[in-house]
Structure 1
Amino acid sequence: MEETLSMVGKAKTNANIGEGLLESSGSKCKSVVEWNQVGGFGGTMSTIVKMLSEVNINRKHNMILRPKMITNDHHPEVVVFSALDSILNSTLDTLKLVRESISWTNIDDYNYSLKSRSYTQHVDTIKNLSLQGKLGVAWWLRNKTMVKGVIPDVVTHNYLINGLCKVGELEKAEWLVREMSSRGPSPNSATYNILLKGYCTINDIYKARDLVSSMIVDGKENMVTSNIIIHHYCKKGRITEARSLLMKLTDENSKKNLVASTTIMDSYLKNGDASLGLTIWGEICAKQVDVVAYNVFIHGSCLNGDVIVAYKFVNKMFKTGLLPDRFTYNILINRLCKLRRIDEALYLYTVMSRMGVDPDRVSYATLVQGLCMIGDVDMAHGLLNRMLEKSMVPRPVTWNLIIDRYGKQGDKRKALYIRDQMMINGVSPNVFTYNSLIHMFIKGGEIDEARSLMKEMLVAGGPLPDTVTYNLLVGAESKYGHLYSADEVYEDMKKRGYKPDVITYTELIRGYCLRGKIKEAERILYIEMLENFSLVVVDHVPFQILIKKYFKVSDFNSAYGVYQTWFNYVGANKDVEPAEKNVLDGNNHVAERPIGNLLDLCTIYYTMGHPYFDHHVKMVNDALYVNGVNNVIVAETDQWLDVEEDMA
């Protein structure tokens, strides 16, 4: 950089000399003066290039004028232009060196000068740029150093290749590896393994296998290579191929890859194939087994619900001289909590502390979740306080579990206290926190408080509400008969871009039916919900609510129409549960037998859980007796009553 400043100083001096000569000769040429006026070459590269262009134009102009002036014997001018021409030649050479030493605009911040830095600084800069994701600048810098005869080592190239693979630029990474092979430095095993991982990331298994084959031929394949390709196969569920590939990659005379074998065993156990998992375990036991292999098998046993086997392997760990680590205890505690065996989980928690293994956030969070599951929220609160005493700030999910449980128990004071403690410890409440509190207030009948929390989310910079938040408010307003407010919340939901789901429509239909506004309920069902059926997964509940309402007002024809709509919808919708579809398929004769509509509706009503089945059977019989078809329907009714007894 000192050399650069020296060159710039010379250029300034030459420019000042030229300016004096121009003034003495009375010339109107201002090029050199203008260069000096831009700040002593302190402008941007674009300004310098512009000045260079002007210098070239004026220089050509001087060359044209010189013969004419000599012919006219204007000797002073000849002297001036000869001096200026010499100055310009020197200045242009100086500016050329300045331009080469100035970095382009994208790397001005680095103040980089190739001549003033050592080799270590060059490669460190390329590595840092690659890690920061500034691959364009790193690529340019790598090329520039190679032009200057400085070739970055293979580790530096690996950093750049890794950055390219992370952003999906596999073609550039491939080109760089090929150039390394031809110009140096030669790629090593790490280079090929990085490229292999890139292929696996984009799921290009064919190129991955070809690369592995070439690595084996060149002697570049190692255990890391096996681990990468085996992990990818297992991740895609191709466990058999992974095992076969491991057999090919592993030399029988060398130590087998413990990590790859453990990965395959883990995949078998996660898929519920305990027998093959045990087979792989036998192969692993032929090698030196570590704690990770034990943890994998213990985790697989817990996933398959076999805690006894998990305990047996813990005992084997002690016998072989291996001690369970934090992961071992967390695996067992997690499974015991899911089985609601909280006492055993708490006992393991005390054991791990006595064994010198400190519980971490996962340990505490798992126990808090288990305690909240069985309703022991006070003990969960105690564990939360213990975490804070150990300077472990829980994640939002742990706070939310306790807030939700206190809310469900109706303890508003403690729920709000936990929320305040959450904020004091620097954890911002999220949408799940607000939903738990809103549900608590709605359950207690405090709709105004629930509205205030919703407004806080929308106005006061809190987390934005989600569909669950809106459904809670829609359901509460509908339940308490505030249909206008429920409709306002529903419209605001759509206005803000949220998609109503089946719960939203069900709550609106329920509210209108409770207030006897069946036409509005039909509008929600037929227009709002079913017209968007491709976007909404619909179950039987909204139909059931409307059918029950029609039965209560003895409007059997409308009830049957809703049933037919439900049946037609189920026939076209694959998202409805098979049990519901089977019930409807069993009643497919309804459309062919109009005289049995009421009887079939009665059966559907029973199937949907109505408590007054006998009453409605009598009502159907009375209605049909008036129509003079008593004998036929009574027999059929007896059959349905027999069905009722069988179902009972």
Structure 2
Amino acid sequence: MSRIIGAKSVSSDSFGSISSPSSLFRMIRDGIQQKSLQFPYGFEFEVRRLCKSGELNLEGALFYFDKLIETRPIPSIDTFNHVLGSLSKLRAYSEVLSMYKKIRYEGVNSDLYTSNIVINAFCHLRKIDYGIGVLGDIMKRGLEANSVTVATLVKGLCSEGKVFDAVHLLDKMSERGLRGGSRCEASLRCSYGMIIHSLIKICSVDRAMVVYRGMTDNGVAPDVIVFGDLINGLSSSGRWHETLELFDEMAARGISPNLMIYNSLIRIYCKLSLWDEVAKMIQKMEREGLSPDLCTNNIFIDCLCKEKKVNEAIEVFESMLDQGIGPDVYLYNSLLAGLFTVKRSNDAAELFESLRQGNLRPDVVTYNTMIVGYFKNGETKKALKLLREMICEGLKPDEFTFAVLLNNLIKNGKLEEARKFFDEIIGMGLAPNVVTYNTMLHGLCKSKKLSEARELLIDMEAKGCPPDAISFNTVIWGFLKGEKIEDAVQLLESMLERNFSPCEAVQSKLGRIFADSEGRRILQPLADTYGKKIFE
């Protein structure tokens, strides 16, 4: 019996003699009549009791559903709703939809509660369009969708990234008027909150504020979660004055800030270097029983490092460890960047090693920070060694790192080493992007290796990286400076065929060449095809 309904027995005071589903249905088959068990009402009552108790497992729910379908007269939709609700709690959403089809086939008229369960199933299966279809069916049948219907659909739309559709749905349904009794405002608050949270996630802060104003205009009181999302969004966007105004509005409503809100305000004061205000905020949150967490310390350390107050950042780091707060990789990355900023590469190396020896694993940002830091401090060999180690660890350097590496090598007159490194990148199976290629093209042209630059320009497209306007302008400018006009013109024609325009420097140089009779002879065919504007 426990295999069917879960850990507990089905027997109750009203069903003392029934110990299993089979015995229950033997009684039905044999026609046994008991005063306390009037079919189908007694059976329905027991099914509802089991659903409410939470005793049913998936197998039990399927078993009782099949028996309900076989029962005549057919049980009420309310009983079926209990079973569907139990399945929904078990996350058996496909089974919910399968049962719903059988109920409709048997001619049982579903009600709004049924429809809400079905919509919820479609949403969890990421089939929100079918959920919207159920809403249409609700309206077609003359039923009135309630706030739970809307909240379920809004959640489904937001989870599939269709947040603007969720805004439209909420607006339209609010205009029609929503019912839901005392739960209506709570459901609406949940709907507004999900939309605002989703809008903040995609950095649509202005739209989130419009939704917030609509929320308050419709008489729905925001809670601390809504304020937290908005304050975090505004502060992350650098809209600090609006953040503080919204915080005051929250306080006026008698809502106490949570830790996320405090962290958002602390971030603002740190970035403004208002350290006295930071201290006041910390004292205030501690009076309310809140302690700085990892996020708070990350904000402190990041801002201190950016202001080159690395010693103070290290003090915060050590204090945090003393309090039992474990650091994350983001915190290490901030400290490493700060140490390189103040030319403390040895300390950065020591910290990096402690990170690798601990439970945390350096990420792409960690390696990039170290590599770029080494290069900017002229420690090229260490940077290249770490780059190779990074790739062996299965981490891919980003384009910024490649560009910095090549730039530094070229800047220090190490073009051959840069070229060797560039070839090594390709040899490792990594695909340089157009920025990396352009950096290499610039180095070759700067060193007057124009033939190699032209070959690389052709080769990059063959390797699946089409050159852009910068690529062409770089090489064309190199040929023009080298007085190799015909070579420049060949590339210029190829560039114009791609609808790229010459940059101002190239255009100016071409104009001066065109003014000369020999130059005019060379450039005239292009002028006839593309017009003299390319030389003006």
Q: Same fold (TM over 0.5)?
A: yes
Q: Which residue of 1 aligns with 2:191?
A: 260
Q: Which residue of 2 aligns with 1:199?
A: 122
Shift of 1:372: 3.3
5 Å-filtered alignment, 1:346-495, equals 348-459=281-392, 462-468=393-399, 470-480=402-412, 485-495=417-427
Which of 149, 173, 176 is residue 248 of structure 1 equivalent to?
Answer: 176
In structure 1, distance between residues paired with 2:520 and 2:360: 73
Q: Which residue of 2 aligns with 1:56?
A: none
Q: Which residue of 1 aligns with 2:164?
A: 237
- Partners of 1:265 and 1:277 within 8 A in 2: yes
Shift of 1:501: 0.7
Q: Does 1:602 align with 2:531?
A: no
1:287–1:440 CA distance, 2 compared to 1 (3 A): closer
Shift of 1:569: 3.2
Counterpart residue type for residue 494 of structure 1: I
Shift of 1:400: 1.2
5 Å-filtered alignment, 1:79-118, equals none
Shift of 1:439: 1.7
- Partners of 1:368 and 1:383 within 8 A in 2: yes
In structure 1, distance between residues paired with 2:519 and 2:385: 57
Which of 523, 529, 534 is residue 455 of structure 2 equivalent to?
Answer: 523
1:386–1:220 CA distance, 2 compared to 1 (3 A): farther
- Partners of 1:372 and 1:401 within 8 A in 2: yes
Shift of 1:519: 0.9
1:628–1:302 CA distance, 2 compared to 1 (3 A): closer
Counterpart residue type for residue 434 of structure 2: V
- What secondary structure, in the 3-state scheme, does the structure 1 residue paired with 2:360 have? coil
Q: Which residue of 2 aligns with 1:120?
A: 6
In structure 1, distance between residues paired with 2:428 and 2:8: 52
Q: Which residue of 1 aligns with 2:217?
A: 283
1:347–1:626 CA distance, 2 compared to 1 (3 A): farther
Which of 88, 98, 104 is residue 158 of structure 1 equivalent to?
Answer: 88
Which structure is richer in relative contact order (CA contacts within 8 A, separation 6 or more)?
2
Q: Which residue of 2 aligns with 1:323?
A: 256
- Partners of 2:209 and 2:230 within 8 A in 1: no
In structure 2, distance between residues paired with 1:451 and 1:262: 48
Counterpart residue type for residue 237 of structure 1: F
In structure 2, distance between residues paired with 1:177 and 1:334: 51
5 Å-filtered alignment, 1:128-207, equals 156-160=86-90, 162-164=91-93, 170=94, 173-179=96-102, 193=116, 195-200=118-123, 204-207=127-130
5 Å-filtered alignment, 1:578-617, equals 600-602=507-509
Q: Which residue of 2 aligns with 1:568?
A: 497
Counterpart residue type for residue 261 of structure 2: T
1:447–1:275 CA distance, 2 compared to 1 (3 A): closer
In structure 2, distance between residues paired with 1:376 and 1:364: 14
Q: Which residue of 2 aligns with 1:506?
A: 438
Q: Which residue of 2 aligns with 1:559?
A: 488
Moved more, 242-251 or 411-420: 242-251
Shift of 1:381: 2.9
* Deviation per residue, 1:58-86 (Å, 9 max, x gap): xxxxxxxxxxxxxxxxxxxxxxxxxxxxx
Q: Which residue of 2 aligns with 1:538?
A: 468
Counterpart residue type for residue 602 of structure 1: K
* Deviation per residue, 1:561-592 (Å, 9 max, x gap): 44444443344xxxxxxxxx5x76xx9xxxxx
Q: CA RMSD in A?
A: 4.7
Q: Does 1:272 align with 2:206?
A: yes
In structure 1, distance between residues paired with 2:499 and 2:274: 41
In structure 1, distance between residues paired with 2:280 and 2:143: 52
In structure 1, distance between residues paired with 2:279 and 2:307: 13
In structure 2, distance between residues paired with 1:511 and 1:252: 69
Q: Does 1:497 align with 2:429?
A: yes
> Scaled by the length of structure 1, what TM-score is found?
0.57
Shift of 1:514: 4.0
Structure 2: segments with no counterpart, 5+ residues: 10-56, 69-79, 522-535
Shift of 1:523: 0.5
Counterpart residue type for residue 208 of structure 1: G
Shift of 1:427: 0.9
Which of 311, 324, 333 is residue 244 of structure 2 equivalent to?
Answer: 311
Q: Which residue of 2 aligns with 1:34?
A: none
1:194–1:361 CA distance, 2 compared to 1 (3 A): farther
In structure 1, distance between residues paired with 2:282 and 2:118: 43
Shift of 1:174: 1.4
- Partners of 2:364 and 2:395 within 8 A in 1: yes
- What secondary structure, in the 3-state scheme, does the structure 2 residue paired with 1:121 have? coil
- What secondary structure, in the 3-state scheme, does the structure 2 residue paired with 1:511 have? helix
* Deviation per residue, 1:503-545 (Å, 9 max, x gap): 32123223333443221111111x2224456x457351x4444
1:176–1:626 CA distance, 2 compared to 1 (3 A): closer
1:278–1:477 CA distance, 2 compared to 1 (3 A): closer
* Deviation per residue, 1:216-236 (Å, 9 max, x gap): 879896644322223445643
1:179–1:321 CA distance, 2 compared to 1 (3 A): same
In structure 1, distance between residues paired with 2:111 and 2:331: 46
1:407–1:522 CA distance, 2 compared to 1 (3 A): same
- Partners of 1:258 and 1:287 within 8 A in 2: yes
Question: How many residues are treated as equivalent by the alignment?
Answer: 452
- Partners of 1:188 and 1:220 within 8 A in 2: no
In structure 1, distance between residues paired with 2:2 and 2:507: 93
* Deviation per residue, 1:475-523 (Å, 9 max, x gap): 5555555555544443443344322112321232233334432211111
Shift of 1:357: 2.1
Q: Which residue of 2 aligns with 1:85?
A: none
In structure 2, distance between residues paired with 1:562 and 1:444: 38
In structure 1, distance between residues paired with 2:510 and 2:105: 81
Shift of 1:334: 4.0
> Scaled by the length of structure 2, what TM-score is found?
0.67
Counterpart residue type for residue 508 of structure 1: M
- Partners of 1:494 and 1:500 within 8 A in 2: yes
- Partners of 1:342 and 1:370 within 8 A in 2: no
In structure 1, distance between residues paired with 2:275 and 2:469: 36
Shift of 1:271: 5.1
Structure 1: segments with no counterpart, 5+ residues: 1-114, 124-137, 165-169, 572-580, 588-597, 605-616, 630-643
Shift of 1:412: 0.8
Shift of 1:467: 4.4
1:303–1:464 CA distance, 2 compared to 1 (3 A): closer
In structure 1, distance between residues paired with 2:231 and 2:133: 36
In structure 2, distance between residues paired with 1:268 and 1:515: 50
In structure 2, distance between residues paired with 1:268 and 1:456: 40
In structure 2, distance between residues paired with 1:411 and 1:320: 49
Shift of 1:204: 4.2
Q: Does 1:624 align with 2:516?
A: yes
Counterpart residue type for residue 454 of structure 1: L
In structure 2, distance between residues paired with 1:382 and 1:564: 61
1:190–1:351 CA distance, 2 compared to 1 (3 A): farther
Counterpart residue type for residue 258 of structure 1: R
Counterpart residue type for residue 465 of structure 1: K
Counterpart residue type for residue 131 of structure 2: A
- What secondary structure, in the 3-state scheme, does the structure 2 residue paired with 1:272 have? helix
